[in-house]
Amino acid sequence: MLTINELERYDRQIMIADIGKEGQEKLKRARVFIAGAGGLGSPAAIYLTAAGVGIIRVVDHDSVELSNLNRQILHWDEDVGKKKVSSAREKLKKINHEVKVESIEETITEANVFQLITGFDVIVDAMDNLPTRYLLNKAAIEKNIPFFHGAVYGFEGRAMTIIPGKTACLRCVYRGDIPKEKFPVIGVTPAVIGCIQATEVIKYIVGIGELLKNRLLIYDGLDMKFTEFKVKKDPQCEHCGHVRKG
């Protein structure tokens, strides 16, 4: 049930016929896990908080560095040296105090991933390296939790939505590992991709629209072009090959 305050706060999105009060209540009940409070995690968390999801859990092990501030908009000058999750929680609560924000300062590993994601309705992949993305992809499939992938490099970004057992997963699409590197990026790129991830999450929670299922969306900011590629589930996939369509 929405309060009078909530009805006013979310008035403009409740006006969207596909959302309405019922959709807003679904958002209020939703539990969102965000892996990473950096370039992608910042816009995704900000817009999901503003949209009024019930609980957001942000996990990150890093501290804020000056070189993060060109893109990680949850963190400001005054936050340099602070833990990213503390800085993120502080800002998100200021954006919308109605949202419960859990901040966990941990590295996501094989040992803790299931404990961290259990009980959440969706996982937002806002990591900065492929090995942890694979770890989350595999865990999301095991726990049957939709996984919202996003990645950036320079002026380029990509997004894809993974519904366990029904769509191609990250491992179906990506052949292997790539070396972890210090990557170039300008803040507007994760802003675009993080907002696409947040849009997908909202649509999934409310149950509307067409998700990026089996569709890899690539954004090229230099040519200002979005290109959509069809991807397919690999029956031999080492992460999801054993999971049947539900």
Partner 1 sequence: MSIEVSIHQALRHLTNGQATVKVNGNTVGQCLNNLVNQFPGIKPKIFDKKGKLLNYVEIYVNLESSYPEELAMSVKDGDRLHITLIIAGG
Site residues for partner 1, 110-139, by CB under 8 A, read 125-130, 133
Report the alpha-carbon distance of residue 154 to residue 43 in Å, rounded: 17
Is residue 62 a contact point for partner 1 (CB under 8 A)?
Answer: no
Q: How many residues bind partner 1 (CB under 8 A)?
A: 44
Instruction: From 16, 74, 86, select the one nearest 48 (Cα to Cα).
Output: 74
Q: Per-residue x/- marks for partner 1, 138-177, CB under 8 A?
A: ------------xxxxxxxxx--------------xxxxx
Q: Which is nearer to partner 1, 117 or 173 (CB)?
A: 173
**Amino acid in position 203:** K
**Amino acid in position 240:** C
Asked whether 6 and 24 are in contact (CB, 8 A), the reply is yes
Asked whether 208 and 19 are in contact (CB, 8 A), the reply is yes
State both tokens at 215.
């569709």
Q: Which is nearer to partner 1, 114 or 183 (CB)?
A: 183
Q: Per-residue x/- marks for partner 1, 198-217, CB under 8 A?
A: ------------------x-
CB of 127 to partner 1, least distance (A): 5
**Amino acid in position 32:** V
Is residue 227 a contact point for partner 1 (CB under 8 A)?
Answer: yes
Report the alpha-carbon distance of residue 94 to residue 109 in Å, rounded: 30
Helical pair 41-51 and 84-95, crossing angle rounded to 10 deg: 30
State both tokens at 27.
């958002």
Q: Which is nearer to partner 1, 27 or 136 (CB)?
A: 136
Q: Which is nearer to partner 1, 113 or 151 (CB)?
A: 151
Site residues for partner 1, 1-40, by CB under 8 A, read 36, 38-40
- In angstroms and rounded to an integer, the radius of gyration of the C-alpha atoms of the chain is 17
CB of 190 to partner 1, least distance (A): 7
Residues near partner 1 (CB under 8 A) are 36, 38-41, 125-130, 133, 150-158, 173-178, 180, 183, 185, 190, 216, 218, 220, 222-223, 227-232, 234, 236
